[in-house]
Amino acid sequence: MDNATLVTVILLLLGGLGAFLVGMKLLQDATEKLATGSLRKLFAKTAKSPLVGVGIGTLATMITQSSGATTIMVVSFVNAGVMDLAQATAYIMGANIGTTITAQIVALGNLPISEVMIALTLVGIALYMAFSKRQEKVGSVGLVIAGLGLIFLGLEVMTSEMNLLFSSYPALTDFLKNLNNPFLLLLIGIVATAMVQSSSAITSIIIAMAMAGVVVGGGGNGVLYLILGTNIGSTSTALISSIGSNINGKRAAFIHLLFNVFGSVLFFILLLCLPRFNEWTFAKWFASSPQEQIAMFHTFFNVTCTILFLPLTKVFVKVSTWIVRDKKKNPNDEDDLINERFLKTPAIAASQSVEYYHRISKKALLSLNEAIDAFMDKNMENTPKIHALEEEVLRMSRKLTDFNVKVISAGVSEEENARLSRMALDLADIIRLTEVADNLTGYTRHEVNEQLNFSPIIYDQIREMKRLLNEQYKNAETLVDHPSPEKLKEAQQLEDKIDNQRTAMIQGHMERLSKGECSPNNSDVFINLTGNLERCGDHFNFICERACQNLSQSLSMHA
């Protein structure tokens, strides 16, 4: 082979690798758009059964084609307090099994379906171009198909050029085959995977080389040491995603590292003790398919480690707790929910925004309830706490608004874009709750300083109004995540009750005034108080109606 031909081969080889990596990226991004929301809902069930957790983690990674994306979701759930470390460990183990599906797909590259899959690249792109603006999900399906096609195209080009390269340079073939130092192969696998941030990509390249007739490390266990190294290197994604996270987020990432390292070390020792392990097993079972030997070992290794270590989940949790020590709690730990590292996966970042929004709304409701209770108890001691909650809600709202702008810029689905856009208006309504709470502290001050006395029925009516507002808050929280015409109707009926409660309170007060049963000095405070509380009901109702404004089943909007 002359120099010009060699350059051509290298360029085509790099182009094939590029097509392969682009295909993986397209496949991952498109499946994340299609499935991440549903997967997060599935994760949110936080099944107590470790086996179910393994199953969900496996399914999530098989769908998204990325154990990194699954790990980021797990870390985010641990940060949010939705999932404990034991549950996270089960999901992480499942993610390791799920990531082996890519190698199994690549191992099919020498089958007749390869040509069909490559041809489908055009079909996928055509679907995307035709439907991406009108029907986003169909467009995403097109990208999934195109991504698979590019993976097989890249694999075909790499295999073809590797065949030409290795046949022309036997010395290179001999070098790779004689590269059989177990420790060196393990290190190469670790470094290469950490640099690329994808064990699937490195494993697939190793399989492509096997399809070209070159098995790194010779015919023994050599290539298996390389696979073990990729398994350790894959933990870099989890470790990077945990930077800046809270203590439990770091522990979840450390558990991922422990699991992969312990499993790799265990198998490393096994392979050293049984130098003919591959010859006795996978090389015998898949004698005519060296690429399938690699893919099957990759799956066997991860499944076996999960079976061995799943009963030791509590041990992993204890070790991670011992290594990653508790530190003084930071009042802004919740801010990690919208850490910018999630922007790498916009669909996950969008769901993080929703969780952070719910945290803000709970704080706003707490400030309102505290203010109502303080008025009824004639207690001014909680005023600083109520004001602090108001400041916290304002701070978090600004932070979330800035984050949402970045999420939308990073690229999300139309549905997620609409949700984040509505969130800005929802936040404005939520902030009003803290303003009402602040107003109530002023009424409490007048009540105490001017020694205003209200009849017991007034406090009973205020308690009832508080109950109705808390019930409407629950409706709003439900509808922003799950719009429903039936639930909206319930919310609107409850809004009528809140309006009627205010009317009854004012009428009752006027009647008592006319009978001399109530002091006129109380009127300003009482009338303003009831008006403010009724206004909170309006803000909850705005959130409910806004969440359902795009429902196909139209309901007459509440007047």
pLDDT tens per residue across span 64-116: 656 666 666 676 667 656 677 888 888 888 888 887 777 777 776 555 666 77
Q: Are 331 and 401 in contact (CB under 8 A)?
A: no
552 domain-assigned: no
* Domain count for the chain: 2
Q: Is there a single domain that holds both residue 310 and residue 459?
A: no
Q: Are residues 245 and 363 in the same domain?
A: no
Exposure string for 196-206, b = 16+ CB within 10 A, e = fewer: bebbbbbbbbb
Kindly state whether residues 451 and 306 are assigned to the same domain. Answer: no
Query: In which residue are the tokens 């002359």 written?
Result: 2
Q: What percent of the chain has pLDDT over 70?
A: 85
The answer to whether 506 and 527 have CB atoms below 8 angstroms apart is: yes
Question: Considering the chain, what is the average pLDDT of its residues?
Answer: 82
Provide CB contacts within 8 A for 213, sequence distance 6+: 163, 166, 173
Confidence of residue 533 (pLDDT cuts 50, 70, 90): very high
113 vs 54 pLDDT, higher one = 54
> What percent of the residues of the chain are helix, what percent strand, and what percent coil, each to the nearest 5?
85, 0, 15
CATH, residue 445: 1.20.58.220
The pLDDT of residue 552 is: 43
Whether 91 maps to a domain, the answer reads yes
- The stretch 303-309 carries a mean pLDDT of 90
- Quote the tokens at residue 162: 């590797």
* Structure confidence by residue, pLDDT tens digits, 355-368: 899 999 999 999 99
Whether the per-residue pLDDT at 43 is higher than 70: the answer is no
pLDDT at 401: 93
**In 10 A of CB 174, how many CB atoms?**
13
Last residue of one domain, picked from the residues 323, 356, 376: 323
Question: Kind and range of the H or E element at 527?
Answer: helix 523-547
Domain boundary among 323, 349, 367: 323
- Taking only the tens place, the pLDDT of each residue in 223-274 is 899 889 988 887 776 676 666 566 776 787 788 888 889 999 999 999 999 9
Whether 479 is covered by a domain: the verdict is yes
- Domain of residue 494 covers 335-547
Q: Which two tokens stand for residue 189?
A: 């696998």
| Same-domain status, 288 and 353 | no
Q: What pLDDT, on the 0 to 100 scale, is given for residue 554? A: 42
> In terms of domains, do 149 and 252 share one?
yes
Give me the percent of the chain exceeding a pLDDT of 90.
Answer: 26
Say if residue 472 is in the same domain as residue 526. yes
According to DSSP H, which parts of 169-289 are helical? Answer: 170-178, 182-196, 199-211, 222-233, 235-241, 247-273, 277-280, 282-285
Per-residue pLDDT reduced to its tens digit, 222-235: 889 988 998 888 77
The token pair that represents 241 in the structure block: 């995603």
Q: What is the rounded (10 degree) CA torsion for 153, 156, 158, 164?
A: -150
Single out the residue in 273, 295, 323 at which a domain terminates: 323
Asked if the structure places residue 356 within a domain, the reply is yes
Residue (of 518, 500, 521) closest to 509 by Cα position: 518
Please check whether residue 486 lies inside any domain of the structure: yes
Statement: residue 174 has pLDDT above 80: no
Residue 541 burial (CB count, 10 A): 24
Residues 220 and 351 in one domain: no
In a domain, 556, yes or no: no
- Please state, in angstroms and rounded to a whole number, the distance separating the CA atoms of residues 158 and 207: 11
Q: What angle do CA 264, 288, 117 make, to 5 degrees?
A: 85
The C-alpha atoms of residue 250 and residue 142 are separated, in whole angstroms, by 37
pLDDT beyond 60 at 127: yes
Query: How far, in Å, CA of 292 to CA of 289, rounded?
Result: 5
Residue 558 lies in a domain: no
Cβ contact 414:421 at 8 Å: no
Instruction: Say whether both 190 and 246 belong to one domain.
Output: yes
C-alpha separations of 414 from 33, 37, 320, 552 in Å: 10, 13, 40, 16
Check whether 556 has a pLDDT greater than 60: no
**Which one has a higher pLDDT value, 323 or 73?**
323
Cα–Cα distance list, 489 to 30, 106, 493, 556 (Å): 36, 52, 6, 9
Q: For residues 30 and 82, state if they share a domain.
A: yes
Q: Would you give the DSSP letter of residue 557?
A: P
CA atoms within 13 A on the CB side of 64: 30
Residues 304 and 425 in one domain: no
pTM across the whole model: 0.65
Average pLDDT for 165-170: 78
Identify whether residues 359 and 287 lie together within a single domain: no
Same-domain pairing of 80 and 42? yes
* 144 C-beta neighbours (distance < 10 Å), count: 21
Amino acid letter at 341? R
Q: Output the pLDDT for position 498.
A: 93
Residues 6+ apart with CB under 8 A from 411: 346
Mean pLDDT value of segment 473-484 = 91
Confidence band (pLDDT; 50, 70, 90) for 387?
very high
For residue 495, give Cα distances in angstroms to 120, 361, 533, 548: 54, 19, 12, 16
User: Is residue 515 situated within a structural domain?
Assistant: yes
Which pLDDT does position 289 carry in this prediction?
81
Compute the distance between CA of residue 71 and CA of residue 89 in angstroms, rounded to an integer: 10
Q: What is the dihedral of CA 544, 535, 400, 251, to 10 degrees?
A: -80
